[in-house]
């Protein structure tokens, strides 16, 4: 079974993947992160390294690729793992979830 979730920021998607791989020991090869669409994206809102840095910092940037949500797909083998994946999706504010 494959579980999919959409995240508003790249940071939320990356934190979810780290939780799955480090805490739940899901094989990294079973996880995919892609843009929700044809364009490169960091999500629909700035977060993490896309935010303005504190002072002193390099010159401010405003070129984050905010072209849609970030999609995480995880291939799972059993219901227990699916439950852990769903919990991680919820912890990091997945905006949409689906199972295939």
Q: What is the CATH number of the domain that holds 36?
A: 3.30.70
With vertex at residue 4, the alpha carbon angle to CA 75 and CA 8, rounded to the nearest 5 degrees, is 135
Residue 57 lies in a domain: no
> What is the pLDDT, as a whole number, of residue 53?
52
Q: How many helices (H) and strands (E) does the chain have?
A: 2, 4
Residue 61 lies in a domain: no
Query: What is the rounded distance in angstroms from the CA atom of residue 53 to the CA atom of residue 97?
Result: 32
The 10 Å Cβ neighbour count of residue 3 is: 20
> What is the pLDDT, as a whole number, of residue 10?
86
Residue 56 lies in a domain: no
Percent of the chain with pLDDT over 90: 56
> What is the pLDDT, as a whole number, of residue 48?
52
Number of domains observed in the structure of the chain: 1
Q: pLDDT, tens digit, for every residue of 42-87?
A: 665 655 555 555 555 556 555 566 667 889 999 999 999 999 999 9
Q: Is 87 in contact with 97 (CB distance < 8 Å)?
A: no
Residue 55 lies in a domain: no
**Comparing 67 with 21, which gets the higher pLDDT?**
21
């Amino acid at each position: 079974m494959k579980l999919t979730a959409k995240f508003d920021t790249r940071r939320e998607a990356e934190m979810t993947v780290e939780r799955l791989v480090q805490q739940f020991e899901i094989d990294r090869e079973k996880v995919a992160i892609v843009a929700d669409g044809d364009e490169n994206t960091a999500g629909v809102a700035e977060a993490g390294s896309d935010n303005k840095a504190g002072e002193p910092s390099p010159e401010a940037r405003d070129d984050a690729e905010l072209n849609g949500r970030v999609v995480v797909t995880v291939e799972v083998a059993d219901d227990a793992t699916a439950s852990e994946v769903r919990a991680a999706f919820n912890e990091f504010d997945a905006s949409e979830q689906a199972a295939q």
